[in-house]
Structures are given as structure tokens and as C-alpha cells.
Structure 1
Amino acid sequence: MNIDSKVKSEVTKAALVGGKWVDGHAGIFEVRNPHNGSLLHKVGRCDASDIDAAVAAARKAQPGWAALSVIERAQIMRRIHQLFLERAEPIAQMITAEIGKTITDSREEVFEYSAPSWGKAAEEILRHRGLSFPSTQERTTNKRLVMNHRPLGVVAAITPYNFPTDISSIALAHIAAAGNCVVWKPSEYSAVSCAMLADVFKDAGLPDGVINVVQGLGDAGAALVDHKDVDGVFFTGSTTTGRKIAEKCALRPHLLELGGDGPFIILADADIDAAVDGAMNGCFYYSGQVCTSAERLLVHEAVYDEFVEKFTKKARALKIGNPANEDTEMGPLCNDATLGRVKAHVADAIAKGAVVEQIGKEEGLYYPATILKNVTTDMLIAKEETFGPVAPIIKIKDAEEAIAIAHQTGLGLIASLWTRDLATAWRVGEALPHGSVNINETSNYWDQLAPFGGTGLSGVGRELSQWFLETFTERKLLVFDLGGDIKYNRRAEGGW
């Protein structure tokens, strides 16, 4: 491995290009532990020339990789799955050190989500079906129309810090399984945990150049998107950055998973105890730094007091502290930018009349678990994604008001709806403008074999399972005329 996290004087290599770790040409950046601010790593930083080299390596490797049989590619994906599981514990510990995710949740990420993605991609590519079509344009049995799929070529993958090995593994595994080669730009906040994952690839037998890594800041990601030899782009991150990427990808396939507004709707007939448990997960899992977090709790006036009382009591029992401790339930925020946005949203809400209760204290990147009552829709926290451990509670009169509020942000990733009435659940679920609506389930729930993605400002396309393959392959139609002595009238409708 190129990494020794105990030797802070050494600089982690900047790029994996054609199977070799190399230095970058843009200096270094630092990765610090959000728990205590200590220096974890110095990491080499890539510039445009490093991006050029990585894209060239991917372009060189792609024809040979695509020429392998589907079963050969699937076998390599399965080997990555197995080797990843063998190395999962140290990778989980590195995730906790780099981004402040609790060790319990880091283990969940690597063992339950990240490693199995490679095995699932193997199964998906083995079952990626083509189609055949009848001849409808002519009165003949000579025609055969067959559609199959071909890889795009070179795909850029730009991934976030909050699920550093999960979101990247889902993307990389399916993109590569389809016969593409990849240039991957991980988040600068999780550089070494992602580099540890990248070391698995070669050891599992992935050919050199199939997945290349470039470390760096936003300029490296921008250079990758701008590159003329990149054929498609996968990005998970902010709506602001996603909009810029979409503008640059007008004639290239792209899959963008962006921000969420997380309406968490609790109607009068809801199971309040279950809703409280769901809201605790929705608001405080990984300190709220999840695109599917419960960003707004819309609670019916008939159960408002009961919900707030029970939710507040449960929040007061949260164990907040060092994410490396086995019993910690919530750790710090990852970085100063996230902390600044959370503080600004809470301050704006208080200035406009919200009543605040906080559990824990603010210190460094630690921000208290925060409950806001009397929240109104003119507050920033009700209009923008906060991405922090805050529970803004809005009192509603009925489902129609909840639906109206849910339409206000332009975001539409995932919503959570709590009701015992099937007809209400169906009708409200259909009316919400979100890519997914979880009924009597927390917003932080998704299934790895179901489509995931948002509407409006929350993104373009769907990821996971076969939907990744649909985005990062091109449909290709082959039309055969078998010829012979059969005569037929090309005017299928019998003449003009």
C-alpha cells in the first residue's frame, strides 16, 4: 500500500494512473480529524496535467477492458467484493478518523453497503438484457431488429465525503462492470479511506487503467468534467455544483444526485412512537450530513405536542462525542463550511421567531443536536438544505398543507410520510414531488436494488442497480435483412 497513516511526515501519493501511484503537480492538501483537529495526512494534489494523464490511461485501457467477456468482468467484481470485506475494518476506522462518522456507522457503510456493491454489480451486468423488435415498417419476415448496449468509454466519477466508500463503490462498480473505464475524484475530506479502497482494485486483479484516482480540491473535479476525452459524468454533491456540471454536459450522459429538502410528514393518525424513532434517525444520523436527512418535520397540529415532547425526550438521551467510541451515537460535523451553514440557518430561524433547544455543546466542529419549534416557511432552514443535526418542526393543519410546503423548495429527493391510512398514504405519496416517498419509514432508508434519485433541483437520472447501467451504456440497434428470394411490398400499409 502507498499509505501509512501513522507517518504524518510522508505525503500520500496524489494519483493512481494506469495502476501506479504517482505524485501530483499542485502541491499538497491536509486532511484533519474533525473530532480534535489533529493532522491525519498530507495528500498530494492534482492539477490539469495529472487529470490529462489519468484520462489518457483510462482511454488506453478501455478497449481491452470492454473486450473481456462479461463473465470475466463479473469475476473481477466478485474478487474486489471479497478482498474489500477482508480489509473493511481498517477502512472503516479510517472513515471515522477522516470524516467523523461513528465507528458503528462506518462499519455499516463498508460491510453492508460498499463491499457488496461490487458483487451486486457483477450480478447486474450478467443480467443486463437487450431487446428484439418485430418488423413493423414492411410486410416481411426478412427483418431482424436487435438492441444491445455498448459502454460509453471513459467516465468521470466525483464523489462526496459523507459516504466515501459507499457512493463511490456503487458508481465505480457498475460503471466499470459495463465495460467503461473511470477517472475517480474522491472528496478531499476522505482522501485516504478512498485511496485504501483503490488499493484493493489492483490486488483483486482489476487491469491497470480501468479505475484511476485523482486527489485534489474542486479545481481537479472541474478539470475532469471539462476534459474533452471524458464521455460521461457521475456526480453526487451540492445542487450548486451539479448545475454547473449539467451545463457542461449538455451532449454527454450524466447522472447527478444532488441536495434534498427531506419533508418528514407526520399526520394525525400516525404511530407517534414509530415516527419519533424515524425522526431521530432522519435528523441525527451522521449528524444530519446526509442528502436524505429529515430537513423539515411537518407535524399535524393534533399530534404536535405529543410528538415534540417524545422527540425532545429521546434527543436529550443522545450520546454525543468521540466517533471512535463504540457507544457514540453522534459525532462532529466534517468541516468548517458545513458548520458555518448550520449556524447561519439556526441563527436566521431564531431571529425570525423560532424557539430553540440544544443537546450538547458547540466546540470545534461539534454542533449540538438542535430542535427548533415555531418554524415558519420564510426561514432559511425551511427553504434550503441545512445538512446538519437540526430538527426544524413546522405545525400543519392537514395533508394538503404538507403537500403545498413540500413543493416550495424546488428540491425533490426523498420524503417520509407517516400515516396508518393506506388511501391517504397512496394519494399523498403520489402528490409529493419527490423521487422516493418512504411510508412509515425514516427518510434515511434506501434499497440498493431499487432506483434512487431526485426530481427538480435534486438531480438528473437514477442510480443503483440496473439504472446505473442504463445511464452509462449506449443503446445500439442492429437491423438485419436476411435477404433471399422472398418478395414483399415495402409499403406496409398497402400503398400511398
Structure 2
Amino acid sequence: MLANPAFDKKLLSGSLIDGRWQSGSAGTFAVRSPHSGDILHEVGRSGPDDARRAVQAAKAAFPAWSALSVVERAQIMRNMHRLFVERAETIARMVTAEVAKPILAAREETFEYSSPSWGKAAEEILRYRGMLLPSTQEKSNNKRLVLGHRPLGVIGVITPYNFPTDISSIALAHAAVAGNTTVWKPTEYAPVACAMVAEMFAEAGFPDGVMNMVQGYGDVGAAIVDDSDVKGIFFTGSTATGERIARANPLRPMLLELGGDGPQIVLEDADVDAAVEGAVVGAFYYSGQVCTSSERLLIHEAVYDEFMEKFRKATAALRMGDPFLEDTDIGPLCNEATRERARAHVGDARAKGATVEQFGEEHALYFPPTIITNASSEMLVCREESFAPIATVIKVASAEEAITIANQSELGLVASLWSKDLAKAWRVAEALPHGTVNVNETSNYWDQLAPFGGAGKSGVGRELSQWFLDSFTEKKLISFDLGGPRADRRVAGGW
């Protein structure tokens, strides 16, 4: 195992408020390596009072920040992009140390997703357009209706462990470039990796108070959500927590990215080899700890046997081990709660008659790639998100049956569909309620400039690119009367 990266000990403070690193007011919390179980570091734990102070700092910074030109804000985002690229390897190694994401996937996160998000936000705001609307209410050419966008104010950003620097970078960059200020509560499982991102704020040129961070647990996130000076909430995490945030956040903009459970549908005319490859990535990438994972595989009976033979072989070839080794495919799960949910789902399926195949031995937080067959709809693996390397395979007789089963879930984030008949694929994709349907591609595929979000209990709103700007700006119409001949405003029936 490679040595953990060095870092400035100020990053253990627990909060960055109004440009100053400060000790959290609620003591400390330990961060353990999911691989070894050893304590990596003790981090200052912020409390609700710290969150309130961060919100006030962001509120105070908002008028000056929102008054900056888009060119000035865009340049700061470009500075963040440059700094992030320079430090991406160090941050990737800390991601691997803290949440056990295999090092190649951690580099993918920091180099391909996190660092470019800041540059993309800069380009997006420079191209974020308003509209000039025609006057349609009266017979006059005197009116000019101008539609623009204004920032909301303080945005609360609460982010998860599975993409600790990517998801946060998307949210922070786009919220700030639009003129908002932010209070960020990162995951408690990757506090130093996230603090390494926050460390760049001042160097990039963000004024004090624009970007604030508070480390800790759910009480800190709740304090952000409950603060009336917070004008919008971004949250990525569990559906249960998202529902609590929605109930506590009436009449304020929200962007909630919540759970998913696939499915991956493989029809009778699919390229089976490609579908198997897609299923391995879809079900087992980062040990299944991805909201876009293909937890349910719906395989047409005409190709079921061939698919299963090749899927088992490919699954058996996955290497489980130290996440710092570049040939590791499956590292440990991030925490005990995730492991216990995986155990419960597998145990429930086995007790209800399913066949369970595990390709490796469970030990500590390591949970082996698992294939479940002979599953039925009353099993937990068919009703809830496992968030673990578990693939539940169901044989179907038709595309219609696959659609019916796929639509039984209350979750609707990303579906994957495999067929050589693009007309059929088009119709099946339209019949699925999911926010995204990837045709002949794994569910764990997304484009950083395309809208991302789900239906049902998978979330509210769309992020990435202009859609994120839409979420955290308010449309504002200004109507001008330029003067001139007055029009008769009476409608045909009079008033």
C-alpha cells in the first residue's frame, strides 16, 4: 500500500469560515481507513453554531460577490481548474485512503471530473443567455420585455462519500459562478480530501466568505437546511435524507440527487458480450457504491444462458484487494452501515429462495462481488437500493415484461438498455420513467455537459451545465415602456 499523501495540518481544523481555518466547536471525529481499519486522522467536528456562523459569513459576502462581472467570476473558476489539475494526484490518493475508491477510479474522479468542473462552470456562465420577449398584450411596439437571471443568495451544499470531490466541485463551481455564495458540508468519510479542495479557494481568488466549509455529521447539515438565510439547497445522498430535506425546505429551490437501482435491460437481439461488459461496470464499479449502478439486470430468456455464463466468468475475474494497487477492481466498502445493508439484502434474498453466488470471501469491510438469481419482487434487493457490489438477475420473456418490472421501483435515476434494434430501443426507452436511459451503454455512464437527475424518489431537478445554473438562479423579467403612441388596451369584449 502506498503512503498516504502529506497535507497541511490546518486541514484538520474542521471548518473554513469567512476565509479562516477554525477548530470545530463540537470536538473531533476519527476517520478510519476502510482498507486497514486504522485511524487515518482526527478532524475537528463542527456543530450547528459553526454552520450558522458560516451562513452569516456567506450572507455578508453575497452582495459584493454577486456584483462582480461574470468575467471576473469566470477567471476565478479557471484558476481553480488550474490549481486542481496540479494537485489532482495528491487529492486522488487521499480519496483512496479515506473512502477506498480504487486508485484508478480516484484519478478518474479528480482528473476527469472534479478539476474540469471549475473550468466548465466558467465557460457555462459566459454563455448563459437571457431572452428578449415580444409584447403580446397590446397593439403597441413600445414594450421591451427582458428576461434575465439573478443569483439566489446563500446555497447550502451537502455532498456524499462516493464522489467526494466530483459532486462537490460541480455544485460549488456552478453555484458560485452564478453569483451565489456557499456553505459546504462535505461527507464525514472524506474530510481531508474535501479540505484539500477548500484549501485552493483563497489561492484561486475567492473573496473571504464566498466559499465556506463545515465538517461534521448530520446535525451540521440539518442546521444548514433549517437556516432561513440559506436560499437554496443542493444535496446528493440517500432518498430517506432527501425526503427529510424536502419536508424541511418549503418554498426554496432544491436540487436533490438521490438513490437509484438501475435497471439494465438486455433484449433478445443485444450484443451479449458488450452487455456483459456493461453489466460488470454497471454493477461492480467502485464496489457498487454509485447511485447509477445496475443493481437489477433484466435479461431476455433468449440470451439468458449465454449472458449468465459470460457474466459469471467476468465477475470471477475481478480482483478484490488493496485499493492503492492499480490492478485492483474491488476495494472495501466505505463503512459498516453500507456493509450491513449489503448483508441484510443478501440474507433476505437467500431466506426467500434466491440463489446467491459470491466471488470471493467477505472480511472486514470487503464484500465480494455477488450475483443473485431466482429473485422475486418481494425481496429487498428488488425493492431497495443496495449500494454494494450486488447484481440481481431476473429472466424476462419480453420487452414489455422488462418494462413492467423496471417500473415497479419507486426509483428512476438511470436505466441501461441493450438492443441492436434502435426503433425498439427508442420505444422501450420512452416507456421507462428514468431521468436517463443509456442505450447500448452501461448505466454508469454520464456526460458532464448533459442534464443529470432522476424521477420519482430518485430526486428533484437536474444538475450539470446550464441545468445547474437554472436550478440556482431565479428568472427575472424587466418590462420597459419606451414611450410612443398609446395603444387601446381594451380587449375585444371591453372592461
Common topology (TM > 0.5): yes
| 2:249 paired with 1:240 | no
**Which residue does 2:134 correspond to in 1?**
134
Does the CA-based 8 Å contact 1:8-1:40 persist in structure 2?
A: no
The change in CA–CA distance for 1:86 and 1:5 in structure 2 (over 3 A counts) is closer
CA shift for structure 1 position 166: 0.3
One-letter amino acid of the counterpart of residue 291, structure 1:
C
**Which residue does 1:61 correspond to in 2?**
61
Residues 225-282 of structure 1, C-alpha deviations (whole Å, 9 max, x = no match): 0011100000000000000111111200000000002111011111000000000000
CA distance in 1, matches of 2:103, 2:250: 40
**Which residue does 1:488 correspond to in 2?**
487
One-letter amino acid of the counterpart of residue 439, structure 2:
I
Residues 23-76 of structure 1, C-alpha deviations (whole Å, 9 max, x = no match): 111111111100010111101111111011100110111111111110000011
CA distance in 2, matches of 1:477, 1:459: 28
| Secondary structure class of the residue paired with 1:189 | coil
Residues 324-356 of structure 1, C-alpha deviations (whole Å, 9 max, x = no match): 011111100000000000000001111111112
Does the CA-based 8 Å contact 1:11-1:44 persist in structure 2?
A: no
CA distance in 2, matches of 1:314, 1:143: 66
**Which residue does 2:369 correspond to in 1?**
369
> What's the RMSD between the two structures over aligned residues?
1.4
CA distance in 2, matches of 1:470, 1:11: 33
CA shift for structure 1 position 205: 1.1
**Which residue does 1:340 correspond to in 2?**
340
Does the CA-based 8 Å contact 1:175-1:181 persist in structure 2?
A: yes
CA distance in 2, matches of 1:9, 1:475: 43
**Which residue does 1:471 correspond to in 2?**
471
CA distance in 2, matches of 1:75, 1:7: 26
| Secondary structure class of the residue paired with 1:356 | strand
Does the CA-based 8 Å contact 2:276-2:307 persist in structure 1?
A: yes
Does the CA-based 8 Å contact 1:412-1:454 persist in structure 2?
A: yes
Does the CA-based 8 Å contact 1:8-1:41 persist in structure 2?
A: no
CA shift for structure 1 position 7: 9.1
**Which residue does 1:36 correspond to in 2?**
36
| 2:165 paired with 1:182 | no
Residues 448-471 of structure 1, C-alpha deviations (whole Å, 9 max, x = no match): 000000001000000000000001
Does the CA-based 8 Å contact 2:172-2:182 persist in structure 1?
A: yes
Matches within 5 A, 1:115-194: 115-194=115-194
**Which residue does 2:259 correspond to in 1?**
259
| 2:356 paired with 1:321 | no
One-letter amino acid of the counterpart of residue 488, structure 1:
A
**Which residue does 1:404 correspond to in 2?**
404
One-letter amino acid of the counterpart of residue 366, structure 1:
Y
One-letter amino acid of the counterpart of residue 189, structure 1:
Y
**Which residue does 1:277 correspond to in 2?**
277
CA distance in 2, matches of 1:312, 1:488: 76
Does the CA-based 8 Å contact 1:8-1:39 persist in structure 2?
A: no
| 2:379 paired with 1:379 | yes
**Which residue does 2:441 correspond to in 1?**
441
CA distance in 2, matches of 1:65, 1:361: 53
One-letter amino acid of the counterpart of residue 255, structure 1:
L
CA distance in 2, matches of 1:475, 1:28: 42
Residues 466-487 of structure 1, C-alpha deviations (whole Å, 9 max, x = no match): 0000010000100111124x13
Residues 197-220 of structure 1, C-alpha deviations (whole Å, 9 max, x = no match): 110111111111111000000111
CA shift for structure 1 position 491: 2.1
| 2:15 paired with 1:15 | yes
CA distance in 2, matches of 1:9, 1:180: 29
One-letter amino acid of the counterpart of residue 156, structure 1:
G
The change in CA–CA distance for 1:436 and 1:7 in structure 2 (over 3 A counts) is closer
**Which residue does 1:25 correspond to in 2?**
25
CA shift for structure 1 position 89: 0.6
CA distance in 1, matches of 2:43, 2:88: 22
| Secondary structure class of the residue paired with 2:483 | coil
Identical-pair percentage: 65
| Secondary structure class of the residue paired with 2:230 | coil
**Which residue does 1:199 correspond to in 2?**
199
CA distance in 1, matches of 2:7, 2:95: 17
One-letter amino acid of the counterpart of residue 243, structure 2:
R
**Which residue does 2:101 correspond to in 1?**
101
Structure 1: which 5+ runs fail to align? none
One-letter amino acid of the counterpart of residue 448, structure 1:
Q
CA shift for structure 1 position 6: 5.9
CA distance in 2, matches of 1:239, 1:77: 31
Structure-1-length-normalised TM-score? 0.97
CA distance in 1, matches of 2:310, 2:22: 54
Matches within 5 A, 1:303-318: 303-318=303-318
Does the CA-based 8 Å contact 1:9-1:42 persist in structure 2?
A: no
The count of residues paired between Structure 1 and Structure 2 equals 492
Q: Write out the 4+ residue segments of structure 1 that deviate beyond 4 Å after TM superposition.
A: 4-11, 492-496
**Which residue does 2:211 correspond to in 1?**
211
Does the CA-based 8 Å contact 1:406-1:433 persist in structure 2?
A: no
Structure-2-length-normalised TM-score? 0.98
One-letter amino acid of the counterpart of residue 364, structure 2:
G
One-letter amino acid of the counterpart of residue 490, structure 1:
R
Does the CA-based 8 Å contact 1:8-1:42 persist in structure 2?
A: no
One-letter amino acid of the counterpart of residue 62, structure 1:
F
